[in-house]
Amino acid sequence: MSSINGDLAVFMLSTSATTTRRVLTVLGATLALLTTLVTGSASAHGAVSDPPARHYDCYQRWAANWQSPEMATQDPMCYQAWKADPNAMWNWNGLFREGVKGNHQGAIPDGQLCSAGRAHSGRYAALDTPGNWKTVDKPRSFRLNLHDQSAHGADYIRVYATRQGFDPTTQRLRWSDLELVGQTGKISTGPTTPVEVNAAGRTGHHVLYTVWQASHLDQSYYFCSDVNFTG
């Protein structure tokens, strides 16, 4: 009888621990979402939605099932990003720096371009990691879309593409790896904000790097999008 009671006690403790972990996980996700809703909307605006920025893409594909073990095998780069800091995806509209004054290269070191120089205490640092990020097929000339939730406008939007020969699966992005392939002047922004891109001479997996200078403040947004140029 004592053995049965002991086994039952172990079972109850194990079940209690599992339940506690599940509750804490759910609470963590809820708090992250509340952080986005309460603080994110006041200081954040959006992201490149087509081709999607890395963190926005991970959010779109996995937010409803972000604890799924299948992500590790189906989408390892998003998996490592979620594991490093889920708030980077919940706060997909907040990858910015303030007070840069147009000196983007001075503010963001090589190797840290995708995280905006490890902005917000390194929340987005996993985006700098080279690897097999999911790509979107694009012709060399197409319209990139910026999704600005708050419609605060842009002093300018600049789009760069990696040079032919750059390998996003093994190399961290540097400014010298980029060439300007599209830009705007001062424009209004909203859910649909197209930017003409002409990335001639490129094939295969490339990184598009978008710099969005918001109009309402000296607030600069930075996005890495992975594309497969199909010609």
Give CA–CA dist 7/150, Å, rounded.
Answer: 57
- Note the pLDDT of residue 185: 97
- Note the pLDDT of residue 191: 95
- Note the pLDDT of residue 43: 54
Give CA–CA dist 69/228, Å, rounded.
Answer: 27
- Note the pLDDT of residue 22: 43
Residue ranges for the chain with pLDDT beneath 70:
1-43
List the one residue out of 168, 39, 157 whose CA is nearest residue 114.
168
Task: State the residue for tokens 């995806």.
Answer: 89
List the one residue out of 162, 142, 151, 139 whose CA is nearest residue 225.
162
Cα 71 versus chain centre, distance: 16
- Note the pLDDT of residue 231: 74
- Note the pLDDT of residue 152: 86
List the one residue out of 118, 131, 138, 110 whose CA is nearest residue 48.
138
